[in-house]
């Protein structure tokens, strides 16, 4: 086994995710905390959920596997080029996928979450069809970006030619494309597209529904689903706004009549913002000024008399 090969015996394969994708936004554990939570992201190059019937369907072997599945927070990246299954084709290994390029990457922190999957020059096989590719693609990509405070974005692309069961096909966004080969089986190919909500984004380039009956190598039937190039993300939790350091003080206005000095005193107290003692200080100033004014009147009357 080299560093670019992922191989698992069929008997110990476990499900690593739902086979049907993009029927709903991906579920994540919710990040939280007043200081803001990290975003979440994940990507996978291939996800397969197949049921292989052996011995005239008296034995069923579920095959569930993924290639280059990564998840974040932090940063994760994988670049394995093949995934192989054992024990379902006369004891010989089955190369489910071979590709020239097969990369997945996911990053996430408190401001941004992003995931991307890329597949180029890829050939997908299923048990019972050792010489005939289930599908061949030139290039498929998916990307999902979730940034705090912004609308999530998801994109997926299928570039170049696509061949299913040896036949070149043209895919349409209007619905699945079906390819049937007598004595071999049926493949339904669908551009899975994208889906976004206010906080999540998901994209998958291709989804294949497989039903083949090769009647070879003791394989009676293979049914299931394969997804190529999937990416999804969830936005980070926005931090709570910091409390304002300035007190909410309303300007005070002078009331009643008095000398020019009394009005000036009130204005100065309002401009400085005032504290809890402001009304009392202002009131005392007005009283003192009033008393002074009264004393002045008495003096003038005494002189006049």
End-to-end CA distance of the chain: 123
Comparing C-alpha atoms, which of 183, 212, 223 is closest to residue 52?
A: 223
pLDDT of 253 reads: 54
**pTM of the entire predicted model:** 0.67
pLDDT of 67 reads: 94
Higher pLDDT, 269 or 173: 173
Higher pLDDT, 34 or 153: 153
pLDDT tens for residues 95-141? 899 999 999 999 999 999 999 999 999 999 988 787 789 999 999 99
Higher pLDDT, 121 or 276: 121
pLDDT of 215 reads: 67
Higher pLDDT, 272 or 140: 140
Q: Are strands 82-89 and 5-9 parallel, antiparallel or unpaired?
A: parallel
Domain ranges (residues) in the chain:
5-234, 260-304
pLDDT mean over 62-85: 91
pLDDT of 17 above 50: no
Residue 38 exposed, middle or buried by CB count within 10 Å (0-12, 13-18, 19+) = buried
pLDDT of 240 reads: 59
Question: Which of these ranges, 19-33, 129-143, 179-193, 273-287, has the smallest mean pLDDT?
Answer: 19-33
pLDDT of 181 reads: 86
């Amino acid at each position: 086994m080299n560093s670019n090969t992922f191989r698992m015996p069929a008997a110990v394969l476990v499900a690593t995710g739902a086979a049907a994708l993009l029927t709903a936004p991906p579920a994540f554990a919710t990040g939280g905390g007043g200081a803001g939570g990290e975003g979440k992201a994940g990507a996978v190059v291939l996800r397969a959920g197949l049921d292989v019937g052996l011995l005239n369907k008296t034995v069923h072997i579920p095959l569930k596997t993924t290639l280059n599945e990564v998840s974040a927070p932090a940063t994760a990246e994988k670049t394995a080029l093949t995934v192989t299954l054992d024990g379902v084709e006369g004891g010989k290994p089955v190369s489910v996928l071979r590709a020239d390029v097969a990369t997945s990457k996911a990053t996430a922190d408190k401001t941004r979450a992003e995931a991307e999957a890329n597949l180029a020059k890829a050939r997908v096989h299923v048990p019972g069809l050792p010489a005939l590719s289930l599908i061949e693609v030139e290039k498929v990509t998916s990307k999902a970006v979730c940034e705090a405070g912004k609308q999530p974005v998801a994109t997926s692309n299928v570039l170049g030619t696509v061949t299913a069961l040896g036949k070149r096909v043209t895919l349409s966004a209007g619905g699945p494309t079906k390819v049937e080969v007598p004595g071999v089986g049926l493949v339904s190919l669908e551009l899975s597209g994208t889906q976004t909500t206010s906080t999540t984004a998901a994209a998958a380039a291709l989804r294949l529904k497989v039903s083949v009956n090769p009647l070879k190598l003791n394989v009676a039937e293979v049914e299931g689903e394969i997804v190529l190039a999937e990416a999804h993300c969830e936005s980070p939790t926005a931090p709570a706004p910091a409390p304002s350091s300035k007190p909410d003080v309303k300007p005070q206005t002078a009331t009643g009549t008095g000398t020019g000095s009394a009005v000036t005193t009130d204005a100065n107290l309002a401009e400085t913002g005032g504290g809890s003692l402001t009304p009392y200080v202002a009131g005392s100033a007005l009283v003192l000024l009033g008393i002074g004014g009264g004393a002045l009147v008495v003096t003038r009357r005494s002189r006049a008399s």
